[in-house]
Structure 1
Amino acid sequence: MNIVASAVTLYVDDVAASSTFFTTHLGFHESVASGTYACLVRPDATGDIVLQLRGAGERPATGVVVTFTVTDVTGEYDRLVREGVTISVPLRDEPWAERLFEMTDPNGIVIRLVEWTAPAGL
């Protein structure tokens, strides 16, 4: 597997408050932000922090999601299925040009593998 980036998603009750904490005290800055979501980055960090409003989105927002951006998400999906890993979110294409799937480790930690794709119609 070739991991090219990583992120940790933290589900919070107040995205703005957490974003302010990370930007004020830890040197992160917002690369993308909305009322329910913020992606925080640092030029010297190897991973991003994603803040997601608890309860927003399609699945219950509890715990932590570790995301790895990979170079061949379809190949990794096929390999992990062959190895008997239980896939919790099947491989799919998102409208914002992301191809992803999720699995859950034995302790309930969600691991998302993702690859950026060309937007539909290009």
Structure 2
Amino acid sequence: MKITSSAVTLNVADVPASSSFLVEHFGFTEDMAADGFASLSRPDTGMNVVFLRRGLSTLPDHQRDTHVSGTALAFVVDDVEGELARLEREGVSIAMPLTPEEWGERAFQVLDPNGVIIQLLDWNASTAS
């Protein structure tokens, strides 16, 4: 098998709201969009983020009415404190404060307008307890 690209697909109620949030606050580009669909990318993520509107008839019956739940878009960043400060300045509500974990990860989370969890983190093992 040769994988040529990767994407994560998330079902949400309001595709334009989630798409706009990633564009405005995280520098993604909306590559394709149609009614109930948007595909976004950044050259440095190695994957696309795809939003699908709940209820689309093209989705299988068992997925059609589900909403993304328990899934986080996690992005490792160089300056987690700087990103936290920037998002706070932009008025983005912080859902989980910057939290250090015993294994060295430090992370915080925000929610997009559809409740999609976006986690920014770094691996700073030198601060681990």
TM-score when scaled to structure 1?
Answer: 0.49
TM-score when scaled to structure 2?
Answer: 0.46
State the structure with more CA Rg: 2
Q: Which has the higher helix share?
A: 2
